[in-house]
């Protein structure tokens, strides 16, 4: 079978001979991969002219709905993907973070966008900046989708997650994607993308797939495009320096393999929980996906006095990691992705062996469960020991991308930090200790060299996702050798595919552009109370100015008795006089409660409920005798997708300003209400 590419709305199959990809377990041919003859310029043009405009016409929430529908469809087919992944040498446990983890990441981004992004095509960022004395000239930052295409060049080890964790934030941002999977596992990515295209929950042109070489693809990119890369540092550097990418300043995000470390704290004893947790995690990272993870632990740093104990404990655990047919439930160590990869790892082990002794594994003969001995691309879990790590070089620079790690001793915390830094930049490092002071010293010493750091101890181990698990709401990437890029990170990842623009103008003009009220903008007043209007009828900038109310001594006393808040500033005349306030004052929460009583319409209407309160600030104290007034303005509207049998509704964000008799603000905040819509 020759893998086809999906380009410009149709499937393309190259007529040229391609690279044959074999089953990593049994050696049978799986597919042939070639993209020779594919129109790369056409793919880029199609993304810009068809996919991009279609995505940008959708709001953030509409894009999220498409992602959610896609994730549901893929999850229903997960068993098909698991069966296919066995051919790449992964066990079901290995494939879980790839398949279900990848689909789960899409769900996460769909949910995040619905919660945190507007139901609009533009996102407003940060607070308004007042740029003039009278407030007629203001500034605000906005984010809009880049008008190009995101090219995602992915590694072979996570053919599903690696593709989806980039695709989800890109589509959410409003950019179409061209996916280039690594050839050894492209058949898995192809199966997933085929289902996404078949479903059609995302606009035509939003997704294209190139199976094979990128050819001259990068020659056709410009300043509106983005390239992301996951793989080896050497390949990434070569792509980053592509003349056209440099000439057009095309953003390039790189996530490269790195020499990640795990550090066992000096405070840990053999009988401690942290010792067992450390050994378990190192063994798991060595055997999961046969060590073919960019986050895998490569350098194991242990107090000198515990070296032998850790080696013995690792040997005992690794001996239980049965190698063999990954489709079998009790197999714990699968194959590498190819025979060529296994040979490359053996060559790297030989390099490391010039500085470190092999203490576990390293055998050339392997008995495999469910398979003939020594078949496929299998390699035993191998641990090397380097007793002089500060004087060594290769253990800090050579990566064997397989089930391989090197254990090394340290004598002081400073030594452990120095060893961690020798990796010259890592995706992740882990610290195992129950001593929080020790954890602080290690983390602060190592953090500048790491994109993520994990502290594991008995308190969090039960719910920890482990050393090697990136999470959608935290960044994934790292400095230096790890590539210097960032992926994931919640909303940060979406913003990577958008242009941040400083917008300047009058408050009224900025309100029209952003669909958000800015103080100083023209306000509209209607005889109908805004709480008696449906979601569709409310206009941004629509304002209600309430009647006035004078705060009395009785108000302060009664509120204190009802709430139980007898703070001295409200009840102790002498203490209040000697305080910051200079006199007794009303409770801040009384002020906002009184304000609600002033602006709320008592009769039933389209307002369903108070949804929350944000950005509250008490600006000035309110002593008895102060006359307050409230201004309520429609700041922002967020149309919500209906759930179940609930009435169609949306969230209205109201800017609230409570002022005193001099017109000065005493409290400012936003309230959120659920308001009925007339239409679904």
| Nearest by Cα to 170 from 499, 493, 501, 500 | 493
User: What's the distance, CA 216 to chain centroid?
Assistant: 30
Q: Give yes or no for a contact between 524 and 538, defined as CB atoms under 8 angstroms apart.
A: no
Q: How far is CA 119 from CA 52, 147, 235, 280, 672, in A?
A: 18, 19, 39, 45, 15
Distances (CA, A) of 114 to 474, 606, 641: 18, 22, 9
Buried b (16+ CB within 10 A) or exposed e, 37-60: ebebeebbebbbebbbebbbebbb
Do the beta carbons of residue 535 and residue 151 sit within 8 Å? no
Rounded CA separation 473/494 (Å): 11
Find the catalytic residue in 32, 255, 274, 523.
255
Residues 6+ apart with CB under 8 A from 322: 330, 331, 332, 333, 369
- Residue 374: burial class (beta carbons within 10 Å; 0-12, 13-18, 19+): exposed
Q: Which phi and psi angles does 364 have, rounded to 5°?
A: -95, -20
- Per DSSP bridges, beta strands 297-303 and 260-264 are parallel
Angle (CA) 632 636 637, round 5°: 115
User: What is d(CA 525, CA 546) in angstroms, rounded to the nearest whole number?
Assistant: 12
Token pair 């623009």 in the structure block, residue: 501
Catalytic residue (one of 31, 211, 261, 294): 294
SS3 288: helix
CA distance 366 to 382: 13
CA distance 313 to 662: 75
Residues with Cβ < 8 Å from 675, sequence gap 6 or more?
533, 534, 535, 538, 606, 607, 608, 649, 650, 651, 652
Number of other residues whose CB lies within 10 A of the CB of residue 78: 15
Is 294 annotated in the active site? yes
Q: For 18-147, where are the E strands, in sequence order?
A: 19-22, 29-33, 123-130, 138-145
Give SS3 for 37.
Answer: coil
Q: Which pairing describes strands 10-12 and 5-7: parallel, antiparallel, or unpaired?
A: antiparallel
Active site residue 486: no
| φ and ψ of 607, to 5 deg | -70, 125
CA angle 76, 174, 226 (to 5 degrees): 105
Helix ranges restricted to H, 483-587: 491-495, 507-514, 553-563, 568-571, 573-577
Q: Kindly list the catalytic residues.
A: 255, 294
């Amino acid at each position: 079978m020759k893998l086809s590419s999906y380009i410009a709305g149709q499937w393309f199959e190259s007529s040229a001979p391609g690279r044959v990809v074999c089953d990593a377990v049994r050696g049978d041919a799986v597919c042939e991969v070639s993209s020779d003859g594919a129109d790369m310029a056409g793919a880029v043009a199609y993304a810009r002219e068809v996919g991009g405009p279609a995505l940008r016409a959708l709001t953030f929430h509409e894009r999220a709905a498409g992602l959610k529908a896609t994730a549901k469809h893929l999850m229903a087919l997960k068993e098909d993907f698991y069966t296919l992944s066995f051919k790449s040498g992964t066990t079901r446990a290995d494939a879980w973070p790839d398949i279900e983890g990848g689909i789960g990441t899409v769900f996460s981004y769909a949910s995040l966008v619905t919660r945190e992004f507007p139901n609009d095509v533009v996102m407003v960022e940060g607070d308004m900046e007042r740029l003039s004395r009278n407030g007629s000239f203001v500034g605000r930052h906005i984010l809009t989708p880049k008008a190009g295409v995101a090219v995602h060049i992915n590694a072979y080890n996570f053919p599903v997650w690696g593709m989806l964790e980039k695709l989800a934030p890109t589509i959410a941002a409003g950019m179409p994607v061209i996916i280039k999977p690594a050839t050894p596992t492209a058949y898995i990515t192809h199966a997933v993308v085929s289902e996404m295209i078949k479903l059609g929950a995302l606009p035509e042109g939003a997704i294209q797939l190139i199976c094979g070489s990128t050819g001259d693809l990068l020659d056709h990119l410009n300043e509106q495009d983005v390239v992301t890369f996951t793989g080896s540092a050497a390949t990434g550097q070569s792509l980053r320096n592509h003349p056209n990418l440099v000439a057009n300043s095309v953003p390039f995000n790189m996530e490269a393999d790195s020499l990640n470390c795990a550090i066992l704290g000096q405070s840990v004893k053999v009988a401690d929980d942290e010792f067992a947790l450390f050994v378990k995690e190192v063994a798991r990272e060595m055997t999961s996906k046969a060590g073919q993870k960019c986050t895998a632990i490569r350098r194991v740093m242990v107090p000198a006095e515990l070296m032998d104990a850790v080696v013995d404990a690792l040997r005992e655990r690794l001996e239980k990691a049965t190698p063999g047919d990954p489709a079998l439930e009790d197999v714990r160590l699968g194959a590498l992705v190819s025979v060529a990869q296994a040979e490359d790892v053996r060559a790297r082990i030989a390099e490391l062996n010039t500085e470190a002794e092999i203490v576990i594994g390293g055998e050339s003969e392997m008995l495999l469960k469910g398979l003939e001995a020594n078949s496929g691309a299998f390699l035993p879990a191998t641990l090397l020991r380097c007793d002089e790590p500060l004087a060594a070089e290769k253990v800090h620079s050579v990566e064997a991308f397989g089930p391989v790690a090197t254990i090394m001793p340290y004598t002081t915390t400073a030594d452990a930090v120095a060893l961690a830094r020798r990796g010259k930049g890592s995706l992740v490092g882990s610290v195992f200790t129950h001593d929080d002071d020790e954890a602080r010293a290690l983390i602060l010493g190592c953090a500048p060299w790491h994109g993520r750091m994990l502290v594991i101890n008995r308190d969090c181990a039960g719910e920890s996702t482990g050393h090697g698990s990136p999470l959608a709401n935290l960044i994934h990437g790292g400095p230096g050798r790890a590539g210097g890029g960032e992926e994931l990170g919640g909303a940060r990842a979406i913003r990577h595919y958008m242009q941040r623009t400083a917008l300047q103008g009058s408050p009224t003009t900025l309100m029209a552009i952003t669909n958000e009220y800015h103080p100083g903008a023209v306000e509209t007043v209607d005889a109908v109370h805004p709480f008696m209007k449906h979601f569709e009828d409310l206009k941004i900038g629509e304002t209600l100015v309430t009647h006035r109310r004078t705060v009395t001594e009785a108000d302060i006393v009664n509120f204190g008795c009802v709430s139980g808040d007898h703070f001295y500033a409200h009840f102790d005349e002498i203490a209040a006089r000697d305080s910051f306030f200079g006199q007794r004052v009303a409770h801040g929460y009384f002020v906002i409660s009184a304000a609600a009583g002033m602006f709320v319409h008592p009769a039933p209407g389209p307002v369903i409920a108070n949804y929350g309160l944000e950005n509250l600030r008490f600006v000035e104290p309110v002593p008895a005798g102060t006359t307050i007034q409230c201004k309520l303005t429609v700041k922002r509207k967020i149309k919500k997708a209906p759930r179940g049998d609930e009435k169609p509704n949306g969230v209205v964000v109201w800017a609230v300003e409570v002022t005193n008799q001099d017109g000065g603000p005493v409290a400012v905040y936003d309230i959120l209400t659920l308001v009925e819509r007339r239409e679904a």
